[in-house]
Amino acid sequence: MITKATGERAAAHSTRRNFGYLLAGRIVAALTNFAVLAILARELGSAALGILVLLHSYSIVLKELVSFKPEEAVVKFGVACVDSGDHHRLKQLLRRCLRLDVIAASISSFAVIALAGPAGHIAGWQSQHFDIALVFGGVLLLSGTGTGKGVLRLNGHYAELGLATALGPLLRLLATALVVIHGGGLFNFALAWAAGMAIEYLLINGFAWRSYRRTQPRSVASEDVEQRSQEFTGLRRFLWVTYWQSSLDLLPSHLPVLMIGGMLGSTDAGLFRIAWEIAQLLAKPAMLLRSAVLPDLARLWRDADPAFIRLCLKSAALVSAPAVALALVVQFAGAPLVDLILGQGYEAMVPLLALLAMAAAVEVASATLRPAGYVSNTSDAMLWIQVGATVVYFVAFIFLTRLTGLSGPGWAALLSRSLEGLLALWVMVIAWLNHRRRPC
């Protein structure tokens, strides 16, 4: 007989294991991406680096704005299919989500290429900059990975997901080193960057297909005939909620690069991107924990297990303490670290880096609140909280950037993350208290 205590320990162990796989892959990816930026900072200088990150952010913004991110839906609605052995229903769910991925990848690729002319005219791009936009747009044809990520998470194959996450940036680093050896050049560095993106996309979908074939009966995995259409209650609404949440996540990460490029110039845009990448070394555990904890939270909430709230708290505590410690290191030793890693000419980003590090620590501390909202049917409230925090961020961003310069985005990030975390915590506590009052 499986007791509640046994179930809680199993869920906690599963979350720690899955989080460990994702964390290993993301740490490698984050460190590798930062190494690439450090090389580019020395090889290109801050002005050319700013142009490159502006072009990359331009393509990523358009990609994310048309993607419905079906990854979370695959996990939320697929858990019941897997646990009940309903393989045909799971196949239908995956087909629907895969269609969204293919459509989104095609539209984003077309949009990046079609809008390069108007965007370049506004930003003053040169001919080689248009070529880079075409390269990034072409790679986006491979970017439909939401369903693949969901399949790997649903089947517990987090090791493959972590591996794919790490191998793409490692190839980018290798390609960047080869470009340095053979003389450099902005366009060649862009090709190296795009190659890493393409490999990561291909690996995720390749691993996902292998995972699906291994876990589904052969009669289902090889079936070509569509089964009778079955409705997934709440699927469309959930996709809309996760779409807006992921799009709002995108805004503070890539859109500010474009905004700073317009307000302060491409050089400061490059400095912001470097500072943001360093801060993301602290914030990555938040995103990874959301992915790792969701399947177990879904099962615990479904079973009305009191371990639900304890898993939320324990998981957040696991990752928040190291993030706070690293934020303090950045706060007091940021300047010598920047000089050591990037060289001279990047000291202006240190105040911004310290503020972004503190904002990342706050984000990590509230990491489990969003997946808890998914499974407790408070995702709408979490979305509106995020909308409000994003509005606060951009109002503060514009005002404080004009007032204080490059440190303005850091203050805006810290303010909005703190507000979002406190409000989300309040909603989750109310939902849990109401859940406990319901009769068993």
pLDDT, tens digit, for every residue of 266-300?
A: 778 878 878 887 777 766 666 666 666 667 777 77
What pLDDT shows up at residue 157? 84
3-state helix, strand, coil in the chain (%, to 5): 85, 0, 15
What pLDDT shows up at residue 226? 47
Largest Cα span, the chain: 70
Whether 357 shows a pLDDT value over 50: the answer reads yes
What pLDDT shows up at residue 87? 82
Q: Establish how many alpha carbons lie within 13 A of residue 416's alpha carbon, considering only the half-sphere containing its beta carbon.
A: 25
Question: For residue range 167-219, what is the model confidence (pLDDT) as tens digits?
Answer: 988 999 999 999 999 887 889 999 999 999 999 999 999 999 998 888 776 65
Q: Return contacts of 411-417, CB within 8 angstroms, 24+ apart.
A: 411/355, 413/252, 413/355, 413/356, 413/359, 414/355, 414/356, 414/358, 414/359, 414/362, 416/252, 416/359, 416/389, 416/390, 416/392, 417/359, 417/360, 417/362, 417/363, 417/366, 417/389
Cα-atom radius of gyration of the chain, to the nearest Å? 22
What pLDDT shows up at residue 232? 76
Q: What separation in angstroms does the CA of 88 have from each of 36, 79, 117, 179, 214?
A: 44, 13, 46, 48, 15
Burial of 433 from C-beta contacts in 10 A (0-12 / 13-18 / 19+): exposed
Counting residues of the chain whose pLDDT is more than 70, the rounded percentage is 82
What pLDDT shows up at residue 170? 92
Question: For residue range 72-119, what is the model confidence (pLDDT) as tens digits?
Answer: 888 888 888 887 888 888 888 999 999 999 999 999 999 999 998 888
Whether 333 shows a pLDDT value over 70: the answer reads yes
Question: For residue range 245-265, what is the model confidence (pLDDT) as tens digits?
Answer: 777 766 666 778 778 877 887
What pLDDT shows up at residue 289? 64
User: Stretch 313-320: mean pLDDT, rounded?
Assistant: 70
What pLDDT shows up at residue 127? 77
What pLDDT shows up at residue 141? 94
Whether 382 shows a pLDDT value over 90: the answer reads no
Whether 17 shows a pLDDT value over 60: the answer reads yes
Please report where in the chains the tokens 């469309």 appear, as a residue: 236
